[in-house]
Amino acid sequence: MMSTFDKHDLSGFIGKHLVYTYDNGWNYEIYVKNGHTLDYRIHSGIVGNRWVKDQEAYIVRVGESIYKISWTEPTGTDVSLIVNLGDKLFHGTISSRAGS
């Protein structure tokens, strides 16, 4: 049986300020401003100390307290992040476009 939660209901996610670390040690911080915009800061890694405001993003709810955010950084790097608020778990993928 399929769940009946509303995938467009982002009320449990908007306004969240989250800090997470990738397996490679890079620390990120994001603030979900609304249903299509976030601010993020990269604290470490080769692009550490970068602060990006008003980044357009695709944000969708994929579970009861699970959200997916996808965006393209100004550098051309694509980011996709699953945030499981209930279990305090993040899973992210970053990839650079060929030729960028």
Catalytic: 56? no
Question: CA-CA distance, 87 to 85, in Å (whole number)?
Answer: 6
Q: Which of 20, 29, 31, 73 is catalytic?
A: 73
- The residue ranges of DSSP E strands in 1-100, in sequence order, are 17-21, 27-34, 37-42, 50-56, 58-63, 66-72, 77-84, 89-96
* 20 annotated active-site: no
> 82 near 70, Cβ under 8 Å?
no
Kindly state the tokens that stand for 45.
């890694």
Q: Which one from 20, 22, 28, 31 is the annotated catalytic residue?
A: 28
Which sequence positions are flagged as catalytic? 28, 73
